[in-house]
Structure 1
Amino acid sequence: MMHLSKQVFLISQILAKIRKPYSDGEEVKECLCVASDNMFPDKKKLVENISLSGYNVARRIDSLSGNIESTIAKRVSAFSSYSVALDESCDTADTAQLAVYIRGVDNDYNITEEMASLQSMKGATTGHLFLMNWKKYWQGLD
């Protein structure tokens, strides 16, 4: 029997990439069921067993993000040189956000450039608060 969890991860990744709500997983499942019923009627039960509830999709995306964070932390620990850029922007609700970008190179000259973090800021947004939030993020990588 095919492992359905891999398919759930792949579908969840697509939903996250295109910034769709987690609840859209149920709509995707409905589309898959209709397509499989018409194209592969003998596989319909297999498709019906895929769990794409909002909760399940959210758990898969959370798991994927943890993997990304650990990969970034691993790469950062191998940097021989790096730079960090902090940028403030506002979301649609006018909440200030601190974006942390990191760019580094390891001893094999592999360059990594990533948005390492996006954190909501409450209240005043001073340079001191940016620095404190960045330090908190950086210490969390250890």
Structure 2
Amino acid sequence: YFFIQSNSNDKAVCMLYKDNVAVLKEYNIRHHYDTKHASTFSQFKEKQRSDKFESLRRLCSQQDLFTKATPENEALTLVSYNVTYVLAKKGKPFTDGNIIKECMMEAVTELCPEKLNLFKMISFAPNNVARRIENMGNNTSQPLVFFCVVDDELNVTQELASLHSIYGTFHHSH
């Protein structure tokens, strides 16, 4: 049926569409196959089907190599953004990122030398620091909450109730 069991959540995942089945039962998997793949693969002989499955399985394994590296890369980027944020908040020049990295490398060399190569990959080059500060500035949004009151004489009073920070990324349309 061209399904594999996912390592992360013990669900059956279609190797062709990356769909999950709701309940791990043969009926559900067969139904997915019949509705989405039967017209394409029904003419395959058992050997062809087996070869196709192996080819897809190898492809999924190769794709997993790329997704496994992602959490480490995300952590490196997050560290770079966090340090950049501190530099910006304290009004320090972008070039101070290089000094911070040098200090971090000294500390890592003494405290956890096995992580030295990981820390070397963090970039605090002045152009990266500037770009990260610009990105942080573009992704900030503080919506204002107003309330509006109309009295018996139809006088309108509008007041600022609060200012809320939104954490994460906020997109607005023009």
Partner of 1:10: 82
Unaligned runs of 5+ in 1: 82-102, 106-110, 115-140
Aligned match for 2:163, one of 112, 134, 138: 112
Partner of 1:43: 115
Alignment of 1:17-56 (within 5 A): 17-56=89-128
Three-state SS of the structure 2 residue aligned to 1:79 is strand
Alignment RMSD (CA, Å): 2.3
More strand per residue: 1
Three-state SS of the structure 2 residue aligned to 1:56 is helix
Instruction: Name the CA shift for 1:113/1:6 in 2 (closer, same or farther; >3 Å).
Output: closer
Q: In the aligned structure 1, how far is the partner of 2:160 from the partner of 2:136? A: 23
- Identity value in percent: 29
Aligned residues: 85
Q: What's the CA shift for 1:19?
A: 0.5
Q: In the aligned structure 1, how far is the partner of 2:129 from the partner of 2:106? A: 20
Partner of 2:147: 80
Q: In the aligned structure 2, how far is the partner of 1:25 from the partner of 1:80? A: 44
Three-state SS of the structure 1 residue aligned to 2:139 is helix
Q: In the aligned structure 2, how far is the partner of 1:104 from the partner of 1:32? A: 44
Q: In the aligned structure 1, how far is the partner of 2:137 from the partner of 2:77? A: 16
Q: In the aligned structure 2, how far is the partner of 1:80 from the partner of 1:66? A: 27
Q: What's the CA shift for 1:104?
A: 2.4
Q: Whose Rg is larger?
A: 2
Give the AA of the match of 2:91: R
Q: Which has the higher contact order (CA 8 A, sep 6+)?
A: 1
Q: In the aligned structure 2, how far is the partner of 1:39 from the partner of 1:51? A: 20
Give the AA of the match of 1:80: F
Unaligned runs of 5+ in 2: 1-68, 149-158, 166-172
1:64 equivalenced with 2:120 (yes/no): no
Three-state SS of the structure 2 residue aligned to 1:21 is coil
Q: TM-score, normalised by structure 2?
A: 0.44
